[in-house]
Amino acid sequence: MVAWLIATLAAVAALAVVDRMRATRARRARIFWMFVGAWSMGTGIWASHFVGMVSWHPSLPIAFSAFTTLLSVVPAILASGVALFVLSAPRMRHTGTVLGGLLMATGISATHFTGISAIRMNADLY
């Protein structure tokens, strides 16, 4: 439930940023809002996945690599930036929407599997 709430709030924040991006004509302001949106949506994706991973309780001791865990936020932020770039276009085309969705799914998957690779436990994951 907490992961869902985090993801939902991050998506709402990012879509509010899209409105800001479309409302401004200044190039620098649009770029600023795109970075803000990519950061908010990307960290929301990461946080919801991290909450889900921390809530997993196997029957043996588990820890996370801090570096790899922090590294796992990068694909989510990059994918969110691509998605916001697609959404900010004056005219959305079907191919751009599909490509943006595929890149977003790839970024979320990369975040997820990078986060999984951060797990440190005395067992093999399959």
* DSSP conformation class of 62: -
pLDDT in tens, the chain (126 residues): 888 899 899 889 888 888 888 788 898 998 898 899 999 999 999 999 889 888 888 888 888 899 999 999 999 999 999 888 887 777 778 887 888 889 889 999 999 999 999 988 888 766
- Indicate the pTM of the whole model: 0.85
SS3 84: helix
Q: What is the structure's pLDDT at 125? A: 65
Q: What is the structure's pLDDT at 124? A: 75
Write the DSSP assignment of 31-73 as a string of letters: HHHHHHHHHHHHHHHHHHHHHHHHT---SS--EE-HHHHHHTH
**End-to-end Cα distance, the chain:** 26
Q: How many helices (H) and strands (E) does the chain have?
A: 5, 2
